[in-house]
């Protein structure tokens, strides 16, 4: 047993063997150094192909979700669409900013557009007829010029009422989005800094913020879908800013566009914007609190002062009437 071990030890310690082993190791290291990029490139190509395949799957899934939830524009049908097309109301009553306003109000597709033009055509006629009925039948004693004012005023109200309704929807939706946006921005910051990409971060925040604001959850989900199927990611952020038309959301969208363009860290930009958004929300709350005394002045004068005067002067008045009655009884 000792002879083989001693032979192996002698062979290993032989200077010729050690030189040959070192030379072989140097040649092998040189070979690996020179040809390793070629092997790594093959693995990189395969990984890029898998990423592209996964992205295409997400894109198809997002398109399917859009079609399922009805966020994609649907073809409008029905009598309103037929009337609008037959009378060419979209040209006759054209409103350049209608599509943008309807998008900001959360009304997407051709049906809201057709309904808007139909309402702008039908309501002035209906209101003018109602005004004429009031001026000629209900109150026929009005002067002729007043009757004309009533009819023209009713017609103008009917024409501008659809626009006022859309503006009201836009204002309510913007307020609902901004009320939950600071919390959503904090959640987005947490997701991004934890290592999540922007797309799953948007999807996660949309899911979590849904109970607080359905409108904001819808916009974030739509942005996530656009990130998956639009050719340029910055278009999704720009569309988010256009749909919401809120200053805070616009700032975040522009910051994400800059990060996408110049490769700056998304987390640092979101952290700065989150701090600014919290400061804006705090300043808005302080502004409302400072305006409370002025707003409470009129209700206090109308409701509190009469009750206070009644409480203060009521017992004195009762004592005065009782003393007057007693004096009158003594005189008799």
Q: Are residues 187 and 165 in the same domain?
A: no
- Domain interval for residue 258: 177-289
Same domain, 162 and 89: yes
Q: Which residue has the higher pLDDT, 83 or 249?
A: 249
| Same-domain status, 255 and 188 | yes
DSSP 88: T
Q: Is the pLDDT of residue 46 over 70?
A: no
Inter-residue contact 234 to 258 (CB < 8 Å): no
Contact 128, 94 (CB under 8 A): no
H/E stretch holding 217: helix 214-229
Q: Give mean pLDDT, residues 84-91.
A: 70
Asked which of 172, 203, 235 is the last residue of a domain, the reply is 172
- Asked, for residue 311, whether it belongs to a domain, the answer is no
| Cα separation values, 53 from 19, 42, 50, 151, Å | 50, 17, 5, 64
Name the residue with higher pLDDT: 108 or 30. Answer: 108
Boundary (domain end) residue, out of 123, 152, 172: 172
Q: Tell me, yes or no, whether 112 lies in a domain.
A: yes
Confidence of residue 71 (pLDDT cuts 50, 70, 90): very low
Are 284 and 188 contained in the same domain?
A: yes
pTM for the model stands at 0.63
Please write the tens of the pLDDT for every residue from 244-262.
888 888 888 888 888 888 8
Indicate the helix (H) or strand (E) that contains 281. Answer: helix 266-299
Mean pLDDT of 208-233: 84
User: Is 6 a domain residue?
Assistant: no
Of the two residues 8 and 187, the one the predictor is more confident about is 187
Last residue of a domain, one of 140, 172, 204: 172
* Residues 35 and 125 occupy one common structural domain: no
Residues 154 and 237 in one domain: no
258, 183: one domain: yes
d(CA 257, CA 238): 8
Q: Are residues 168 and 240 in the same domain?
A: no
Q: b/e for 151-185, b at 16 or more Cβ within 10 A? A: beebbebbbeebbeebeebbeebbebbbebbbbbb
| Range from 46-55, 122-131, 135-144, 319-328 carrying the lowest mean pLDDT | 46-55
Task: Please tell me the total count of domains within the chain.
Answer: 3
Structural tokens at position 300: 């206090």
What is the longest distance spanned by two Cα atoms in the chain?
A: 153
Average pLDDT, the chain: 77
Residue 246: per-residue pLDDT: 84
Is position 193 within any domain?
Answer: yes
Identify the band that residue 124 occupies on the pLDDT scale cut at 50, 70 and 90. Answer: confident
pLDDT digits (tens, 9 = 90+) for 315-329: 887 887 887 676 766
């Amino acid at each position: 047993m000792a002879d083989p071990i001693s032979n192996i030890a002698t062979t290993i310690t032989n200077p010729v063997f050690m030189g040959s082993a070192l030379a072989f190791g140097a040649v092998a290291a040189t070979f690996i150094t020179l040809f390793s990029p070629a092997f790594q490139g093959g693995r990189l190509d395969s990984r890029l192909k898998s990423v592209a395949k996964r992205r295409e799957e997400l894109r198809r899934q997002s398109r399917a979700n859009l079609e399922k939830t009805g966020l994609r524009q649907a073809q409008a049908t029905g009598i309103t669409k037929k009337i609008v097309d037959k009378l060419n109301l979209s040209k006759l009553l054209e409103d350049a900013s209608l599509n943008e306003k309807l998008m900001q109000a959360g009304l997407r597709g051709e049906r809201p557009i057709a309904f808007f033009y139909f309402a702008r055509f039908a309501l002035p006629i209906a209101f003018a007829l109602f005004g004429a009925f009031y001026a000629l039948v209900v109150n026929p004693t009005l002067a002729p010029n007043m009757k004309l004012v009533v009819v023209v005023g009713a017609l103008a109200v009917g024409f501008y009422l659809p626009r006022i309704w859309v503006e009201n929807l836009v204002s309510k939706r913007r307020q609902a989005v901004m009320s939950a946006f600071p919390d959503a921005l904090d959640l987005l910051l947490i997701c991004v800094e934890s290592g999540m990409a922007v797309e799953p971060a948007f999807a996660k925040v949309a899911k979590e913020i849904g109970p607080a604001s359905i409108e904001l959850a819808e916009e974030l989900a739509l942005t996530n879908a656009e990130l998956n199927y639009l050719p340029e990611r910055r278009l999704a952020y720009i569309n988010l800013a256009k749909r919401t038309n809120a200053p805070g959301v616009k700032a975040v969208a522009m910051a994400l566009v800059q990060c996408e363009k110049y490769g700056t860290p998304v987390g640092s930009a979101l952290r700065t914007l989150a701090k600014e958004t919290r400061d804006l929300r705090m300043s808005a709350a302080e502004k409302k609190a400072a305006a409370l005394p002025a707003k409470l002045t009129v209700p206090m004068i109308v409701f509190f002062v009469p009750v206070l005067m009644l409480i203060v002067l009521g017992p004195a008045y009762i004592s005065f009437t009782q003393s007057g009655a007693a004096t009158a009884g003594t005189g008799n």
